[in-house]
């Protein structure tokens, strides 16, 4: 089975801190994604990557950046955390293709910014 591992289940940070959320997948998937999940808003795409060192903005990229130096690892970076970035962050990966492939999700990181 594909495993998508997010480094932390819960994270508490202070306003203004630089925050790194790490995600690793073990199935050689081409595509990786970062979503945030908020009650009543569903999942919203922050960034995605379809190849190493390739990235594209999703629907809500402001305040975030990403890094994909190796195929298996996709990092989400909050340059200067703010309270409105308190959320559940979900990483996902897919084999490849153009959106027809299923996504495999990690268990999520609940980030609280105080």
Partner 1 sequence: AQSVTQLGSHVSVSEGALVLLRCNYSSSVPPYLFWYVQYPNQGLQLLLKYTSAATLVKGINGFEAEFKKSETSFHLTKPSAHMSDAAEYFCAVSGGSNYKLTFGKGTLLTVNP
Taken in order 63, 35, 97, 74, the sign of the CA dihedral is positive
107 binding partner 1? (CB under 8 A): yes
6 HSE (CA, 13 A, CB side) = 25
Residue of 17, 26, 56, 79 that binds partner 1 (CB under 8 A): 56
Residue 101 contacts residue 112 (beta carbons within 8 Å): no
Q: Which is nearer to partner 1, 15 or 27 (CB)?
A: 27
Q: What mask, x for binding partner 1 by CB under 8 A, covers residues 8 to 47?
A: -----------------------x-x-x----xxxxxx--
């Amino acid at each position: 089975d594909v495993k998508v591992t997010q480094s932390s289940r819960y994270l508490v940070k202070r306003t203004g801190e630089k925050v790194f959320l790490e995600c690793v997948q073990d199935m050689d998937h081409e595509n990786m994604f970062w979503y945030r999940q908020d009650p009543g808003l569903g999942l919203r795409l922050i960034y995605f990557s379809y190849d190493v060192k390739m990235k594209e903005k999703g629907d809500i990229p402001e305040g975030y950046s990403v890094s994909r130096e190796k195929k298996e690892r996709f990092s989400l970076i909050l340059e200067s955390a703010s309270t409105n970035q308190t959320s559940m962050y979900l990483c996902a990966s897919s084999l490849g293709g153009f959106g027809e492939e299923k996504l495999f999700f990690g268990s999520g990181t609940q980030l609280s910014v105080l």
